[in-house]
Structure 1
Amino acid sequence: MSAVLSPIDPFAAVRPGRYRDALVDVVQGPAAPTGALRTPSFAVWTDREHVHLSHRLAAGEIDNDLAGRVAAELFAPGWLSGSELFERLVTGIVVSSADEPLAAWENFYRNTLTRLEELAWPGNGPSAAPEAGPDAGHVEGSLAEYAPVYAHARSLVSTHSVLELGSCFGFFSLLLAGGHAVTASDVTANTVRLLARVAPGLGLALDALICDAARVPRPDRTYGTVVALHLLEHLAEEHGRAVVAEAQRLAEHRVVVAVPFEDEPTAAYGHVRTFDLDRLAELGRASGWEWSVHEHHGGWLVLDRP
């Protein structure tokens, strides 16, 4: 089904408070029909054409914790499945949360960045980052899980210019944008265009680039540091190796790779393989650069140009 669907349009509101595409129909507020599946946050039902979702989330609840909430309440129990459906439902919840899509996304981004700053730098410094790991009681994929990853990644960036590969929504790039020259890149065109439209409204400046992380249209050594945070688990092994090689080509000084540690790939997030420190070390040995691996809320590979 996903092969014939049009790409997700983050601005596709059919009316205020409603998002609808070829697969999902998401509304804010209306009561669900009898027989709908009900969870603490959502009501879900299906017909021959759509998965319908109704929610009553307030503006202050619209941040990237939606991903963890949708995964925990609807996908982990097995009610729904598939990364395509997951991404469209999250998009629909955001777009349906305000009268105008751009306003909805700006609210989503502001809430997310504010929460990440509170979690990762409660004292306005990376040294204050909390140790909120997978056993800290939060939902997998939540901001509490990502905040220490972003804090640690920032501590590993020592150059002014930074390229993020596979930036998705671009939260890490935006967190760096105030003090670095940042380029965010992703293969999903509409996600990159969304980031480019939202950033000015947040008072932040960055470049947004649409490309495969293994084929970036920039010269050698363009960036001081290249980062790939939670990207390789989405890619087949050969593609992942090509991404690391491309990061080395583009980096003047350092490449930083982060991956989650999972027993099984999380399908709702589009993960296709798992990692451990030994697999990261294999990438390090093959790089020809100085390298190290360590564990901190997942696994890390740091490559430094000799």
Structure 2
Amino acid sequence: MVPPRTEDPGTVDPFASGADGYVDDLVEVRDLGGTRPRRTLGMVRTPHFDVTHAESRVRIGHRVAPTEVHEGLGGVIAQELFGPGWLRGQELFERIFTGVVVSSAPDPLAGWERFYRNSVALIDDAITRGLGEGAGHASIADYAPVYEHAAGLLAPGPVIELGCCFGFFSLRVAAAGRPVTGVDIEPGTVRLLDAVAARLGTDLQTLTADAAHVPLPDGAAENVVALHLLEHLSPDQGDAVVREALRLATRTVVIAVPLEDEADTTWGHVRTISLADLAAWGRATGLPHRVHEHHGGWLVLDAGAR
């Protein structure tokens, strides 16, 4: 069911929308509302989605309720569409995810505000109730203990988050009163985080940059964090990010990775990282460090010991 690829589908625009939902070069996504159309020849139907093809695009009709528009949406899409093999590829995954959020409300920013508010509420609830299933990517319960644990490892002072993506960790830490800068390589993601942070009333700085080349001075913050970033990067790129984190941090560097038997390509992972790999990074720095497991693997570096 994988559609033909265009030569250059362009980047994902989190604010793109049309009269009937979200449309780009690879996908069309619309909210089906209360009634599903009759099933047609060649259609894949799952609990939340109807999937068909139209020339070079995949057409997705969804019945995702407003309360289901949150960080766990990716797990639903992965389980129903990508896990069974109906669709493949991170690029397609990201576009469908964006399309569902954008088409869930009258305008894109309203959809994203709903996504963030629902996600923040569920993360807070999961932390309060002590929920947590593992170091996966499929549910709020997978992420909540990672965010909570990372916050507990920080030294006092400002924080830089490398590869912040949607920025839930940055938002949580900023809402607690710390100066925070969220850094991501995707301009659309950073623009989205800026817009939603303003709607949420959270004072958060953002920066579009490669995590290995951040245009900030040495010692720009006491803490630098990279949560579930390095598994998306080649070994050389990962090494460069660790070096950059140490350049930027004056006290603590916190790195977290999922512990996988195989790299999950649906989420854009290109390699697995073990506790032994984290320990090797730590030894290579020559700095005091510790490696441990808590809903995934962790490396904490004492940058202040230089």
Deviation for aligned residue 1:300: 0.2
Alignment of 1:101-180 (within 5 A): 101-122=108-129, 129-133=130-134, 140-178=137-175, 179-180=177-178
Q: Give the match's secondary structure for 1:4.
A: coil
Alignment of 1:28-107 (within 5 A): 28-29=31-32, 31=37, 33-35=39-41, 36-107=43-114
Match in the other structure for 1:5: 9
Deviation for aligned residue 1:93: 0.2
Match in the other structure for 1:125: none
C-alpha separation in 1, matches of 2:7 and 2:120: 33
Establish whether residue 204 from structure 1 lines up as the match of residue 202 from structure 2: yes
Count of residue correspondences: 295
Establish whether residue 249 from structure 1 lines up as the match of residue 255 from structure 2: no
Deviation for aligned residue 1:222: 0.8
The one-letter code matched in structure 1 to 2:233 is L
Match in the other structure for 2:267: 269
Report if aligned partners of 2:132, 2:142 keep a CA contact under 8 Å in 1: no
- Would the alpha carbon gap of residues 199 and 24 (structure 1) be closer, same or farther in structure 2, given more than 3 Å must change? same
Deviation for aligned residue 1:32: 6.1
- TM-score, length-scaled by structure 1: 0.93
The one-letter code matched in structure 2 to 1:133 is G
C-alpha separation in 2, matches of 1:298 and 1:2: 37
Q: Give the match's secondary structure for 1:14.
A: coil
Deviation for aligned residue 1:120: 1.4
1:19 pairs with one of 18, 22, 42: 22
C-alpha separation in 1, matches of 2:239 and 2:116: 31
The one-letter code matched in structure 1 to 2:29 is V
Q: Give the match's secondary structure for 2:18.
A: strand
Report if aligned partners of 1:121, 1:151 keep a CA contact under 8 Å in 2: no
- RMSD of Structure 2 on Structure 1 (CA): 1.4
Long gaps (5+) in structure 1: 123-128
Deviation for aligned residue 1:290: 0.8
Match in the other structure for 2:225: 227
- Would the alpha carbon gap of residues 2 and 202 (structure 1) be closer, same or farther in structure 2, given more than 3 Å must change? farther
- TM-score, length-scaled by structure 2: 0.93
Deviation for aligned residue 1:33: 4.9
Report if aligned partners of 1:157, 1:225 keep a CA contact under 8 Å in 2: yes
Match in the other structure for 2:288: 290
- Would the alpha carbon gap of residues 187 and 140 (structure 1) be closer, same or farther in structure 2, given more than 3 Å must change? closer
Report if aligned partners of 2:137, 2:143 keep a CA contact under 8 Å in 1: no
Q: Give the match's secondary structure for 1:146.
A: helix
- Would the alpha carbon gap of residues 160 and 60 (structure 1) be closer, same or farther in structure 2, given more than 3 Å must change? same
The one-letter code matched in structure 1 to 2:147 is Y
Match in the other structure for 1:184: 182
Deviation for aligned residue 1:31: 2.4
C-alpha separation in 2, matches of 1:113 and 1:151: 13
Deviation for aligned residue 1:49: 1.6
